[in-house]
Amino acid sequence: MNNELVLVIDFGGQYNQLIARRVREHNIYCEVISYKTPVAEIKAKNPKGIIFTGGPNSVYLDTSPRMPKEIFEIGVPILGICYGVHFLVYGLDGVIGKANENSAAEFGRTDCIFDTDCPIFEGLREKSVVWMSHNDYIEKLPEGFTAAGHSDKCPYAAIANNEKKFYGVQFHPEVNHTEQGKEILGNFLYKVCGCKGDWTMENYAKTAIAQIREKVGKGKVLLALSGGVDSSVACALLSKAVGDQLTCVFVDHGFMRKNEGDEVEAAFKDWNVNFIRVDASDRFIGKLEGVSDPETKRKTIGEEFIRVFEEEAKKIGKVDYLVQGTIYPDVIESGLGDAAVIKSHHNVGGLPDCVDFKEIIEPLRLLFKDEVRKLGTELGLADYLVWRQPFPGPGLAIRIIGEITREKLRILQDADYIFREEIANAGLDRSINQYFAVLTNMRSVGVMGDGRTYDYTLALRGVTTTDFMTADFARIPYEVLEKASVRIVNEVKNINRVVYDITSKPPATIEWE
């Protein structure tokens, strides 16, 4: 990839992926890498700029993340955010102090005064609200630095060394609460780093198609097609790149939403691709018999997917490459660098060690969900495919808490169908980024027809998000929830209670398992 590059160096902060999203919103490609990445490797990437992220630690702790001082000598502009500015100061022989109840510690919305002569604040309002979250503070600036912003408690809310093009902010410009955060990052990227903004889906598509053609040559390609947004976009991309060398295999593992297997087949029947539908529902359900642990579910399904694809590949003839619709959040949540494993996605951390393909191709691996949708539009995909509801590869297997049975599958398929139908009827299907039902393993007492029931509790989930790395629960109108609840309890046998999940991500994830 020949795009200009900005590197986001991960020091363990909660907003690190959001920083990457904000950079890409400026049409500039960036990658998140670990602070343990060797400086020589960073220099070899030839970045236009580097951003140090926040983190939960004090820079003076022995266990705190640090980098060699050579990082300051590669001649690249640096922006430090929160812990990142502390490391910048510490690494250049300044002093970081520990706040007490009378000084410097700040949390939440804070008024800040900027020096608008400083390049990163040029053209901004002098006074603005920022989002602070820090205990430590800058006590003494390194040589060559000046104050570029202050708050009531924090004399060095922003610092600058214009000669070296090193800048730091104590607050978080990447979050929406910081009023001019987007402009601050934009100034750093364009005015300091000299970026031109060449990261567009049109350019990405052209580059990806060329790279796929070069890699595949005359080889045969098998695409794991689920019918979801990611695999559909991957299908469109591969179709343009290699044409009839591509075979799409849709594995119906039995955990699809109601009628979805038939809908996927209908959606792709008129495409100019080789399409194969494999009914492997008995096989998958059998493999998960007695399994209740969510990680085991994901990894079992991930391995079984690969085995089915291997078998289909042998029927087709020698297939060199397997293509998956893996996207960036899948990679991050499965453990990127030093990042914690949130959950092993069936197509990343859930893959078996031995795979009978020459190579796995993941053309969307660097993209966030909204970027995948943009790419789909760029490739000419129909709206109903581009905006299809996200659906996890393991399907309803991870939306049934505990052990899976055919009866539980039937219950969840029917209830989920009703919920999605009522969301669409209310015209909310575009404004809520993901919505679905979860069958809990909790039973409770209810009353129906003057008689006692003891049946399952169903949870409804709806979220709004731009990147699927963070999400807020959707404020679905009560009347819509009520209509869905009444229909579910009356039309779906074995459910007598419906609840709505009002937890954001973090601390929760979007899926329950």
Q: Is 295 a catalytic residue?
A: no
* DSSP H or E run through 24: helix 16-25
Q: How far apart are CA 86 and CA 80, in angstroms?
A: 8
Q: How far apart are CA 402 and CA 292, in angstroms?
A: 4
Q: Is 172 a catalytic residue?
A: yes
Judge contact between 6 and 193, C-beta under 8 A. yes
Q: How far apart are CA 395 and CA 393, in angstroms?
A: 5
Judge contact between 91 and 166, C-beta under 8 A. no
- Number of helices (H) and strands (E) in the chain: give both, helices first: 14, 20
Give the number of other Cβ atoms within 10 Å of residue 157's Cβ. 28
285 burial level (CB within 10 Å; 0-12, 13-18, 19+): middle
Q: Is 122 a catalytic residue?
A: no
Cα–Cα distances (Å) from 292 to 82, 112, 295, 297, 354, in that order, read 41, 51, 9, 7, 25
Judge contact between 23 and 189, C-beta under 8 A. yes
Q: Give helix 229-242 / helix 201-216 axis angle, nearest 10°.
A: 60
* DSSP H or E run through 140: strand 136-140
Judge contact between 504 and 471, C-beta under 8 A. yes
Q: How far apart are CA 286 and CA 301, in angstroms?
A: 11
Q: Which residues pair with 166 in a beta bridge?
A: 78, 161
Judge contact between 136 and 97, C-beta under 8 A. yes
Spot the catalytic one: 82, 118, 154, 193. 82
* DSSP H or E run through 300: helix 294-316
Spot the catalytic one: 86, 172, 345, 346. 172
Q: Which residues pair with 34 in a beta bridge?
A: 10
Give the number of other Cβ atoms within 10 Å of residue 423's Cβ. 23
Region of 370 on the Ramachandran plot (φ > 0 left; ψ -120 to 50 alpha; else beta): alpha
Q: How far apart are CA 510 and CA 462, in angstroms?
A: 8
Kindly give the pairing relationship between strand 221-224 and strand 29-34. unpaired
Spot the catalytic one: 4, 174, 304, 371. 174
Q: What six digits make up the tokens of 49?
A: 């700029």
Angle at CA 142, nearest 5°, toward 137 and 147?
65
Q: List residues with catalytic annotation.
A: 82, 172, 174
